[in-house]
């Protein structure tokens, strides 16, 4: 009975009331702190950084309390200025919280370079697909006297002879100098023209 009397006493009710008030105040303070620390319901729209330089992009994000992180450079895109932003994550228009990292990819200074394969002595049918697969373009095809038709005699770029092992940017135009196969027929014609002369000489001697 003494316990029931204590529970329903004014002193217990008063202590219980104070305890509830204190818990309510603590809960309110904790929730307020969480809202402030996590920027609850406060979102920032990610700006469009396309074609901006690194410095311009960094300044634009710093003004919005966002951070910048550079990813590895991608393949060169001629439609974008050199060293400008060509891609970003999250994309422009996304909603993020303060201090969020924005990842960007910068445009390289030019196309990456590829090593020229050893194609001298190969046929045109072998050389052209190999060069195209590496990202090169086939330019002018010229022929020079040589016994093997369509055999690669030289490779040139912008008028300059290039050798296997050199490096050129992809999309470079490579001209091919091929054998025309006519030297074989010229040699055969010369041999045939020499034989009757020998016969004539023998007949004259008789």
pLDDT at 202: 43
Task: Give CA angle at 54 (51, 59), nearest 5°.
Answer: 100
Predicted pLDDT of residue 3: 59
- Give me the residue spans of the domains in the chain: 44-106, 113-184
Distance CA 81, CA 106 (A): 10
| Residues ≥6 apart with Cβ < 8 Å to 115 | 165, 166, 167
Q: By C-alpha distance, which of 112, 109, 106 is closest to 50? A: 106
pLDDT of residue 17: 75
pLDDT tens string for the chain (206 positions)? Answer: 465 565 556 666 677 777 888 888 888 888 777 766 655 557 899 999 999 999 999 999 999 999 999 987 778 888 999 999 999 999 999 999 989 999 999 998 888 899 999 999 999 999 999 999 999 999 999 999 999 999 999 999 999 999 999 999 989 999 999 999 986 555 555 555 555 544 444 444 44
Q: Is there a common fold for 44-106 and 113-184?
A: yes
Give the model's pLDDT for residue 107: 92
Q: What is the CATH number of domain 113-184?
A: 3.30.10.20
CATH no., domain 44-106: 3.30.10.20
Give the per-residue pLDDT at 18. 77
């Amino acid at each position: 009975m003494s316990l029931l009397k204590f529970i329903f006493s004014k002193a217990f009710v008063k202590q219980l009331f104070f305890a509830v008030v204190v818990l309510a105040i603590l809960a309110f303070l904790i929730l307020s702190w969480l809202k402030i620390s996590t920027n609850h319901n406060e979102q920032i729209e990610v700006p469009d950084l396309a074609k901006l330089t690194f410095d311009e992009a960094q300044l634009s994000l710093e003004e919005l309390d966002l951070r910048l992180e550079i990813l590895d450079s991608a393949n060169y895109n001629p439609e974008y200025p050199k060293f400008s932003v060509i891609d970003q994550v999250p994309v422009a228009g996304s909603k993020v919280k303060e201090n969020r990292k924005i990842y960007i990819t910068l445009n390289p200074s030019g196309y990456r370079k590829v090593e020229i394969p050893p194609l001298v002595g190969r046929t045109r049918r072998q050389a052209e697909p190999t060069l195209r697969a590496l990202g090169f373009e086939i330019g002018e095809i010229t022929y020079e006297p040589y016994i093997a038709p369509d055999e690669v005699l030289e490779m040139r770029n912008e008028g300059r002879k290039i050798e296997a092992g050199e490096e050129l940017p992809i999309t470079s135009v490579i001209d091919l100098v091929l054998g025309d196969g006519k030297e074989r027929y010229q040699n055969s014609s010369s041999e045939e023209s020499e034989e009757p002369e020998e016969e004539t000489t023998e007949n004259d001697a008789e």
